[in-house]
Amino acid sequence: MRWRDALRRVAETGRLMVGVPDYERYLAHRRASHPAEPALSRAAFHRLCADRRFAGEPGRGSGCC
């Protein structure tokens, strides 16, 4: 059903706009690209994403803005 796919994409876009990362997409990427390496737990994944967004990284400025 195309409307379900469209609704799913709208929801995903909304979550990304407010900074909520997609753990399921991360797991799919890990399985496809890095199968021998362990994936982060859901909590560790969200912590990493929050740290990247708000704590900043070298060369990225303050993080959020």
Prediction pTM value: 0.62
What pLDDT, in 10s, does the model give residues 5-54? 889 888 888 887 777 788 888 999 999 999 999 999 999 998 888 888 77
Residue ranges of alpha helices (H) inside 1-65 are: 2-17, 23-33, 42-50
Q: For residue 37, report the phi and psi dihedrals to the nearest 5 degrees.
A: -100, 145
CA distances from 59 to 11, 52, 64 (A): 31, 12, 13
pLDDT for the residue 46 = 87
